[in-house]
């Protein structure tokens, strides 16, 4: 029986999420602090109009601390909103402390009254990644479709946020998959030089 790319990704996802569950408090704190430092540095480097993050679930790194610091530095920030299956995400302006509603995927999202924006710096969740900039998400394809849509409009930067234990040697990829520009872990920032 031949395994498909989807099968390989599912196996990588399952194994990486199991490793991520082992991340203790010290490791989580280290990544939060590193992400705060590196996220501000990358925002100053790339000078985005809008920065998007994500509301952490299932042991994901806490990006909300970075979003709060970005707001303090004068950046506009946003969170993703699921608008339907098999489509891209919308991103709605949001500031830490503002109300959210639980979206269709069970994740807090900005209210419908918040304006839709098109971020040019995106801090993205992932299950695992490799040093070439490929990522495996949760399998629904929302970020791949969203990055493709935004890249067709303008120059953007996508930064994966992950614990080092989520790194794998090789992520198999398909034509619709989108590369990251960098990955921030608790130990380092990996820049992807080739597109």
The pLDDT of residue 25: 92
Sign of CA dihedral 123, 145, 194, 130: positive
Domains belonging to the chain, first-starting first, are: 5-123+135-191 (3.40.50.10420)
**Residue 116, pLDDT score:** 98
Q: 81 pLDDT exceeds 80?
A: yes
CA distance 95 to 98: 6
pLDDT score for 2:
77
Mean confidence (pLDDT) of the chain? 95
- pLDDT of 194 > 60? The answer is no
Q: Is the pLDDT of residue 86 over 90?
A: no
pLDDT above 90 covers a percentage of the chain that reads: 90
Say what the pLDDT of residue 58 is.
85
């Amino acid at each position: 029986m031949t395994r498909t790319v989807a099968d390989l990704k599912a196996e990588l996802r399952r194994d990486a999420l199991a490793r991520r569950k082992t991340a203790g408090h010290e490791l989580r704190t280290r990544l939060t602090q590193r992400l705060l430092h590196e996220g501000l540095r990358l925002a100053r480097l790339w000078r985005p109009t809008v920065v998007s993050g994500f509301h952490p679930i299932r042991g994901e790194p806490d990006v909300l601390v970075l979003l709060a610091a970005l707001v303090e530095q004068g950046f506009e920030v946003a969170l993703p909103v699921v608008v339907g299956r098999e489509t891209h995400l919308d991103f709605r302006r949001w500031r830490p402390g503002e109300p959210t509603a639980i979206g269709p995927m069970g994740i807090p999202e900005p209210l419908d009254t918040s304006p839709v924006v098109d971020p040019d710096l995106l801090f993205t969740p992932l299950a695992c990644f490799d040093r070439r900039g490929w990522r495996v998400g949760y399998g629904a394809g929302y970020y791949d479709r969203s990055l493709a849509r935004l890249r067709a409009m303008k120059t953007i930067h996508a930064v994966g946020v992950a614990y080092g234990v989520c790194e794998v040697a090789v992520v198999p990829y398909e034509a619709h998959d989108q590369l990251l520009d960098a990955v921030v872990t608790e130990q380092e920032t990996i820049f992807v030089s080739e597109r």
